[in-house]
């Protein structure tokens, strides 16, 4: 299967991100670049402060305290997109959705769907392997109150575009939450791609356009949604079944 997409116009592409001109050739090299990023002063200060002060439960544990790169299968056909690292989740562990309540809901669902080799993903060295899936976020550094501002999102989105570039089999996105949904759309719009009107909804499938990946949106697996019943296991399972059904 060939590359399905990416930035259609090389001029726009070079305007979008100077980093793209020095394009990394592997996900590993890209990861090395991402974890040294300090472009957003407010988020750099916050991620490091959280890593120093820590939560009582993890007071004796080292914190990552750096940008969190995406992880998963380099042959992934599906990219899962979240908002940002959790303060004491992936800002502590260094792996997306690892070590917090959202991950405890997400990874079992991926396992049930056959997209992960095990239902737990609590620590970076736990043996978790994703199949056909790559997990990332629109913002790599934990934001105060879980709210990156629009400048920070726009500054960070090129990292996700770079990851997309490194996933030659990519066919679609699963956006976890409205902000991730908007972020994926913005990533394309920042590259001059005109997108059709589309609405966020749980288990709602949209097409970004001809030759572009599909975009499936889901409620975020945060405790705010899972403990209130707004997002149930069955509702979440339906998202992964729909995502798999789109693959070819
Ligand atoms: S949020 Fe993104 S762009 Fe900003 S400092 Fe972190 S990694 Fe860099």
Mean pLDDT confidence for 88-99 = 97
State in Å: Cα 36 to ligand 1 middle.
9
Whether the full predicted model's pTM is greater than 0.85, yes or no, is yes
167-170: which pairs have CB atoms within 8 A and are 24 or more residues apart?
167/74, 167/76, 167/79, 167/134, 168/1, 168/2, 168/3, 168/75, 169/1, 169/4, 169/75, 169/76, 169/77, 170/4, 170/5, 170/76, 170/77, 170/78, 170/79, 170/134, 170/213
| pLDDT greater than 70 at residue 167 | yes
- Whether the CB of 135 sits within 6 Å of ligand 1: no
User: What top-level class would CATH report for the domain 25-245?
Assistant: alpha beta
| 51 vs 43: CA distance, rounded Å | 12
| pLDDT greater than 50 at residue 239 | yes
Best of 35, 49, 156, 157 for a ligand 1 pocket test (most atoms within 8 Å of beta carbon): 156
Cβ-Cβ contacts under 8 Å for 245 (sequence gap 6 or more):
none
Mean pLDDT confidence for 72-99 = 97
- Whether the CB of 152 sits within 6 Å of ligand 1: yes
Q: What is the pLDDT of residue 18?
A: 35
Band the pLDDT of 26: cuts 50, 70, 90. Answer: confident
Domain regions of the chain by residue span: 25-245
């Amino acid at each position: 299967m060939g590359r399905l997409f990416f930035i259609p116009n090389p001029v726009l592409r070079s305007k979008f991100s100077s980093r793209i001109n020095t394009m990394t050739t592997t996900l590993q090299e890209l990861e090395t670049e991402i974890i040294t990023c300090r472009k957003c002063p407010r988020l750099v200060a916050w991620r490091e402060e959280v890593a120093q002060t820590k939560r009582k439960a993890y007071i004796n544990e080292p914190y990552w305290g750096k940008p969190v790169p995406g992880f998963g299968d380099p042959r992934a056909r599906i990219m899962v997109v979240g908002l940002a690292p959790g303060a004491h989740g992936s800002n502590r562990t260094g792996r997306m959705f690892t070590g917090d309540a959202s991950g405890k809901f997400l990874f079992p669902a991926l396992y049930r769907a056959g997209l992960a080799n095990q239902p737990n993903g609590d620590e970076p060295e736990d043996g978790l392997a994703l199949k056909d899936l790559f997990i990332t976020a629109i913002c790599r550094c934990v934001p105060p109150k879980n709210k990156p501002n629009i400048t920070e999102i726009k500054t960070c989105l090129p990292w996700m575009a770079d990851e997309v570039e490194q996933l030659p089999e990519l066919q679609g996105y699963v956006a976890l939450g409205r902000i991730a949904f908007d972020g994926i759309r913005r990533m394309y719009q920042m590259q001059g791609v005109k997108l059709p009107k589309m609405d966020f909804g749980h288990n709602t499938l949209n097409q970004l356009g001809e030759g572009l990946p599909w975009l499936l949106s889901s409620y975020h697996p945060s405790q705010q949604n899972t403990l209130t019943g707004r997002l149930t296991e069955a509702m979440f399972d339906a998202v992964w079944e729909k995502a798999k059904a789109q693959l070819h």
